[in-house]
Amino acid sequence: MQATENEKRWNLLFFFVETVLPFMLLCGKLWRLNGDMLGLGKYILPMTAFTVVIFAAVCLFVRVGMKKNHVPVFMGLYFALSALMLVDSVYCGYTGKLPSVVMLQYVWQLGDVIEAIYENVTPARLLYAIDVPFWIVYFVHLRPKLTRWFPRGKENRAQRRSSAPDKRTTGFCGILGGIAAVLCVGYCLFTPFIPSYFGSEILSYHILDVRNTLFSKEIEMPSLSVLTGEETTSSSPDGDSVPVSAETSPYYSIAAGRNVITIQVEALQNFVIGAFYNGQEITPNLNALIAGDTLYYDNYYYQIGGGNTADAEFAVNNSLYAPDTEAAYSKYYDNDYYSMATLLKDNGYSSATAFHGYIGNYWYRDIAYPGQGFDTYLSGSDYYAAPDEVAGMGVSDGEFFLRAAEYLSGVAGESDAPFYAFLITLSSHYAFDLDDRFDFLTLDPEDEGTLYGDYLQAIHYTDAAIGMFVEALKAYGLYDNSIITIYGDHFGLPVYKWECKAFLTEFLDHEYTYADHFNVPLIMHIPGADINETVSVAGGHIDVMPTLLHLLGLENNKGIMFGQNLLTATEGIVYQQTHLARGSFISDTVLYQYPFTGIAPNAKANAVDTWEELDASLFADVSAAAREEIELCMYLLEHDLVLVEKYVAAEGN
């Protein structure tokens, strides 16, 4: 009798260790992921319960259907879900959203940016999978010994040999799944929670993501008048429509006939402009440019897609939105565009050249650039950088700019016509870990080796390299007849990293918010133009092309542009995606965050200047307009209808 009681106790212990404990750990992991990482707020309980329902149902199905030991399959599912949560938490920690399966096609491009991934594999995130090695040791080494050492009873052994399911396991899965199902149904019946919100639950999200990737949803064809005609409007934060002015400004055509030199600076944020660290000017050369003959846009916000830096330049050179989960250069490289480069060459410019200090095929630039109108592309492979010319991921910005200036002097010598040059810097790339020889700021000991300390060093060095480039342009006689546009591609220090937020809140003497996170500088320097103005209308990457064309005195009658001319606009609005969910926007006064989860009541709205919380429901119409506009652009890209001529032909069919 005593042996039978011992067997029961050991059976209960094995049941607890191999069934109950994994479920408890799973619930804890899901609760943390849904709360801390995904920010589901008051909807943590139904989302966690919904995942438990799915997991319990699968485990119940496996247990009933297995004719042998079900534990390996059960634990395999547990390991897979733990690994999925680890990947989601790492990706979400860097981008603020869950990953899409389409990003798998870019895995080969990780290269040197793998360090950025390692940076986000923190001990806290490893908790999602830290127990997996212990479980492996338990099942491979410890469990076989325990089953030999401790009796589990003849009835139990016979049960395991039979095809009948274990009543204890099936009962537990059924009860747990039933309780979770009741919680889910209760939330749907007695709270504002609606069933469609379950699409943001971790398993549902990934299943729907795979489905949407394989079977993309067709977007209804938009009206051409909305895109190109007199009805073109931009929405103000209160939902009113404000006509985009077609009138010229005092700055119309003041840069006509000049060389156009555009510099996309890696991770350049606006807070460094005019800032000092312990009495040291962080960006003295950019500050000097802004001080004279410059239009400086201080409420300018980045707009990107799945290709990050590559999609920033896509938006700037085309005034189009990129896909939010894929790079435009890879998905739509063979479309017909009327890009900045193509338009300038149609208006008498001699050539268009792109420069980048990294490998040529990164983000498919080598394939996409010909379709973007570039005649020549000089990448890091063309620079043949010696060891002392490398900084971070590739050619140092100093060497990069000096060689670019030399090349452009040759271009200018071959023709009297102006040229277009597009340059992409590299040295200030995440994680900003340059050699000591590029560190020119004197940091406090506590800031040395930190992400924010390294960022300030990298930006300070890139600023010095830009100063060298300006001096080289002067030496080659190119400076006076050029318009130099400089902007940041995206954020450098994320607001969701607590150490960055804490440092910058103290450094800026105000809370570091998403408004600061998205705010990058836009500088248009026109030597000898005798102008000096700060433009505070909110703008984004898609607004650069129409604004620059206004300064050049040129028009775009062949391609559809989604941006507006910031020099004639009375109000600005920047529709966001990728780092914020579609439906989010930044206006002159409001930053509205539509939740990635799609749970509308979780939307947030804040005043840009004070970060005062606002009633998010007041901006629902503008949020809908933001989603609609980006979806219209996706339709044009998907059907290769960016050219007005092609769109008119398609609309007539």
What are the residues facing 422 on neighbouring strands?
262, 354
Determine the Cα–Cα distance for residues 175 and 383; give it in Å rounded to an integer. 66
Cα 538 to Cα 208, 231, 236, 338, 502, distances in angstroms:
35, 21, 11, 25, 26
Strand-strand pairing, 584-587 and 590-593: antiparallel
DSSP 72-121: HHHHHHHHHHHHHHHHHHHHHHHHSS---GGGGGGGGG-GGGHHHHHHH-
Cis peptide bond upstream of 431, omega within 30: yes
Strands 394-395 and 532-535: unpaired
Contacts of 84 (CB under 8 A, 6+ apart): 202, 206
User: Residue 604: beta bridge partners?
Assistant: 593
- Per the CB < 8 A criterion, the answer to whether 604 and 592 are in contact is yes
Residues 502, 283 contacting (CB under 8 angstroms): no
Query: Within 10 A of 243 (CB to CB), how many other CB atoms are there?
Result: 11
Cα 93 to Cα 307: distance, rounded to the nearest angstrom: 17
Distance, in Å, from the CA atom of 568 to the CA atom of 548, rounded to the nearest integer, reads: 12
Tell me the one-letter amino acid at 225: S
- Number of C-beta neighbours around residue 167 at 10 A: 9
User: What tokens does 607 get?
Assistant: 């005043």
- The answer to whether residue 309 is catalytic is yes
Q: Determine the Cα–Cα distance for residues 522 and 191; give it in Å rounded to an integer.
A: 45
- Euclidean distance between the first and the last CA atom of the chain, given in angstroms as a whole number: 86
The residue type at 349: Y
d(CA 642, CA 644): 6
Rounded Cα distance between 204 and 84, Å, is: 13
CA atoms of 380 and 358, how far apart (whole Å): 4
Location of structure tokens 């200018």: 412
Report the DSSP pairing between strands 604-607 and 590-593: antiparallel
Do 294 and 531 form a contact (C-beta atoms < 8 A)?
yes
Could you say which of 309, 578, 589, 597 is catalytic?
Answer: 309
Query: Can you tell me the distance from the alpha carbon of 415 to that of 533, in angstroms, rounded to the nearest whole number?
Result: 33
Residue 277 tokens read as: 């660290």
* CA–CA gap between residue 302 and residue 315 (Å, rounded): 10
> Rounded distance, CA 491 to CA 622, Å?
24
Q: In what order do the strands lie in the sheet with 590-593?
A: 573-576, 584-587, 590-593, 604-607, 613-614
Between CA 539 and CA 273 the distance in angstroms is 17
Q: How far apart are CA 267 and CA 292, in angstroms?
A: 24
In one-letter notation, the amino acid at residue 122 is T
Which residues are identified as catalytic? 309
